[in-house]
Chain A
Amino acid sequence: MSHAEVMVEAPVQARGSFGRLLRSELRLVLGRRRNVVLLAGLAAVPLLLGLVLFLTRDSALGEEGPGFVGKVTENGIFLVVASIFVCLPFLLPLTIGIASGDAVAGEASAGTLRYLLVVPVTRTRLLVVKALAALAFAGSAVLAIAVVGLVAGAAFFGLHDVVLLSGDTVPLGVGAVRIAGVVAYVALSMTGLVAVGLFFSTLTEVPVGAMAATVVTAIVSGVLDTLPALSAIHPGLLTHHWLDFAEFLRITPDWQVVAGGLAVQAAWVAVFSTLAWARFTTADVSS
């Protein structure tokens, strides 16, 4: 038996290692078949909604929600907003809950978490990358609805100058910027949910449990938001400000409302990402 010693050079971090890790994770999350199917499912919503409105030529949803749904047949660009409105209560939280709940718990359940950690990668770095990938997926989900909504809306109803909620008309270019504002606000409104999902994901080795808990959180928040008796806590609820995207469709958006909604999301992100970090960096990995 040779007792010669192998001395491996002291490891140095290669440049750009964080970027490599992030790209690899994004490829994994966005390339995974289940996630692609989820995105395709969301993208089907504007297609179906547009098709129904196109065939019936009158808006069954017209009397519900903030005015814009009834405007879809007049201007295809409103299909973007209408589709987001339809997806917000359940489909979007479901999709995002699945992806973010799976982030850490999925690796734990597959046993791959232990191999990632012994490569090694520090737990903080892995969690940050997992969070960024989950955020990227949430953004992709909102964007999928928006892009397909825009294309389908243009194809079914054409794009015209935009009549805002206040009744004022702005040129299509300005209207498009407003719609982009809606999309961005909704995407940012999902960050709190992603953080909640990430936290649940660090608690369990059962990804379905983390996914369900995340989706239930969004639903319970929505229910609590409808109870007048709890009006005191409404402003802090995860979902309370989600519909404030309507500000972007007023002639002068109330930026305080927009900032308030984003501040609540920031608070949820701060609390739950801290909890996720505290949990993940100290937990025993026994899966």
Chain B
Amino acid sequence: MSAGVLDPVRVDQGSGDGTGPLAVRTEGLTKRFRSGQVAVDGLALRVPRGAVYGFLGPNGSGKTTTIRMLLGLVRPTSGRAWLLDQPMPDAGAAVLPRVGALVEGPAFQPYLSGRANLDRLSAVDATADPRTAARRRDEALERVGLGAAADKRFRQYSLGMKQRLGLAAALLQPRELLVLDEPTNGLDPQGTREVRHLVRELADAGTTVLVSSHLLAEIEQVCSHVGIMSRGHLVLQGDRAVLAGRGQATVSVTTTTGHVGAAARVLRGLGLDEPVVDGLRLDAPVDGLAPEDVSAALVHADVPLVGFEVRRPSLEQVFVELTGEGFDVAR
């Protein structure tokens, strides 16, 4: 892949061709608050069915407002949204039973136990079969590892346990789509790993997962697709390959004493920029050139290769490049 730096406002069409079935789609989705602040501006979200879509951006970049609009909690100022091909918020009653959601942290009745809280949500769900409610509730609790703490009051739960109960609520019914807003918030590394594992497991079973985070590293490993928000805009969207192709790759060549000059000549001969030499190592951007051609040319010129490495910018570097912000920076 030899894509140069894309125009940051260009948005890739979903799974590549843009024609596959989408679990989430928005057109020009915009939210302007009464204060005049534009939280979300002209969003065109494309979450293909079956994807694990990492919805990334710093705190305050508009992720949660977007998720609230998708779920019908907040009315867009303009633009439209579809969940599982159904228009939101109009089709909410029909489509939301197929969607599990964790929105901006878990929230339950503090004086009820975890089990009683799930029972309450089950009672609210007009589509839930009351005969299977107890079994589904216990399965969900087990699945998130809360079986032993099910009868404790929610108030007494640790932050991690609260987060798990939120996930259990999202898993009360079989879902086609899960929308998880910051699901790893407050979890320790072990809990974070478990959430990743759960997301992967659900995705392998075919559930589409839209997972938001301001901490890239926590979800980077499970995402098949990524969308990056910055200041209310979607600055990048696409599958991982699109991201991998962003930014310039760099070759790093390590040779033996006495061959640094020859190596530099070969690299220059290939039309690369002047390599940066650091001892026996030479770094040069391989703009528009396949790395294997570089190594072949070096070998052809009898340059001993001790090391040959192609480095691509990490997603985090791409993010910083796009937004000029770190991941943890609030607006």
Q: Measuring CB to CB, which residues of chain A are less than 8 angstroms from any residue of chain B?
A: 1-8, 10-14, 16-18, 20-21, 23-24, 28, 32-33, 110-112, 114-122, 125-126, 282, 284-286
A111 CA to B206 CA in the complex, in Å?
A: 30
By the criterion CB–CB under 8 Å, are A2 and B75 in contact? no
Q: A5-B50, A17-B126 are in contact. Are A112 and B71 (CB under 8 A)?
A: no
Task: Report the minimal beta-carbon distance from B33 to chain A, rounded to whole angstroms.
Answer: 9
By the criterion CB–CB under 8 Å, are A8 and B103 in contact? no
Q: Does B123 contact A (CB under 8 A)?
A: yes
- Number of A-B residue pairs, CB cutoff 8 Å, is 132
A48 CA to B107 CA in the complex, in Å?
A: 40
- Selected contact of A13 from candidates B21, B126, B174, CB within 8 Å: B126
- Selected contact of B96 from candidates A3, A120, A125, CB within 8 Å: A120
Closest 3 CB pairs of A and B: A111-B107, A24-B123, A11-B127
Binds A, one of B108-116, B183-191, B292-300: B108-116
* Chain B residues within 8 Å of chain A by Cβ, number: 50
A sample of 10 inter-chain contacts (CB < 8 A) reads A1-B203, A4-B206, A5-B21, A10-B94, A14-B129, A111-B107, A112-B108, A118-B96, A120-B72, A282-B75
Q: Measuring CB to CB, which residues of chain B are less than 8 angstroms from any residue of chain A?
A: 21, 49-50, 52, 65, 68, 71-75, 92-94, 96-99, 101, 103-105, 107-112, 119-121, 123-130, 169, 173-176, 203-207, 224
Task: Report the minimal beta-carbon distance from A208 to chain B, rounded to whole angstroms.
Answer: 16
- Selected contact of B97 from candidates A11, A24, A115, A282, CB within 8 Å: A11
A3 CA to B205 CA in the complex, in Å?
A: 9
By the criterion CB–CB under 8 Å, are B127 and A114 in contact? no
A119 CA to B105 CA in the complex, in Å?
A: 15
By the criterion CB–CB under 8 Å, are B110 and A110 in contact? yes
A33 CA to B153 CA in the complex, in Å?
A: 13
Task: Report the minimal beta-carbon distance from A4 to chain B, rounded to whole angstroms.
Answer: 4
A255 CA to B88 CA in the complex, in Å?
A: 51
- Selected contact of B71 from candidates A18, A21, A118, CB within 8 Å: A118
A284 CA to B74 CA in the complex, in Å?
A: 4
In the bound complex, residues from chain B placing their C-beta under 8 Å from that of A120 are: 72, 92-93, 96-97, 125
By the criterion CB–CB under 8 Å, are A285 and B68 in contact? yes
In the bound complex, residues from chain B placing their C-beta under 8 Å from that of A110 are: 107-110
By the criterion CB–CB under 8 Å, are A6 and B127 in contact? no
In the bound complex, residues from chain A placing their C-beta under 8 Å from that of B75 are: 282, 284
A259 CA to B98 CA in the complex, in Å?
A: 49
- Selected contact of A285 from candidates B52, B74, B176, CB within 8 Å: B74
A15 CA to B161 CA in the complex, in Å?
A: 33
Task: Report the minimal beta-carbon distance from B100 to chain A, rounded to whole angstroms.
Answer: 9
Closest to B92 in A: A120
In the bound complex, residues from chain A placing their C-beta under 8 Å from that of B71 are: 114, 117-118
By the criterion CB–CB under 8 Å, are A5 and B127 in contact? no
By the criterion CB–CB under 8 Å, are B103 and A115 in contact? yes
In the bound complex, residues from chain A placing their C-beta under 8 Å from that of B73 are: 114, 117-118, 284-286
